[in-house]
Structure 1
Amino acid sequence: MSAQNDTAAPNIIWGAKAISQVIRRPEKSTFNALEAGKIPGAKKIGGRWGLNPSVFFAAFEAA
């Protein structure tokens, strides 16, 4: 019998192409924004971009 974590791991979107599809922007524009640090919830890990979509979309709810 295995123990369950009380905290679920966030769904991370990996790669600039996949991120561009989630945020509905052109791939090249997305990559440039990622490199400029302008996408909330995005982080480069091991040379690959990852995005936590809940952090990205929450940025639009903050006033």
Structure 2
Amino acid sequence: MTEQKKHEPLGVIWGVAAIAQVIGRTPRQTYHALEKGALPAQKVAGRWCASRKKLEQLFEGEDAA
């Protein structure tokens, strides 16, 4: 079982590549947004993690605008 699959029931996405896939951006674009604080995520033990629900809420808001 992959690390991402283990945490999926919690709604936690681990790693830049996985977050990028969820939001439809490249890993490089995603890393830049994470470092700028433009995405609701945090570093845990040196790895980026994000709540799937918070990311969906952020991008649903952009679609409505």
Task: State whether TM-score is above 0.5.
Answer: yes
- State yes or no: 1:24 paired with 2:21: no
* Identical-pair percentage: 41
More helix by share: 2
Per-residue deviation, 1:10? 3.0
Higher Rg of the two aligned structures:
1
CA distance in 2, matches of 1:46, 1:35: 15
RMSD value over aligned CA atoms?
1.9
Per-residue deviation, 1:53? 1.1
TM (norm. structure 2) is 0.71
Alignment map for 1:23-42 (pairs within 5 Å): 23-40=23-40, 42=41
Unaligned 5+ runs, structure 1: 1-8
- State yes or no: 1:12 paired with 2:12: yes
TM (norm. structure 1) is 0.73
Q: State how many pairs are aligned.
A: 54
CA distance in 1, matches of 2:16, 2:46: 11
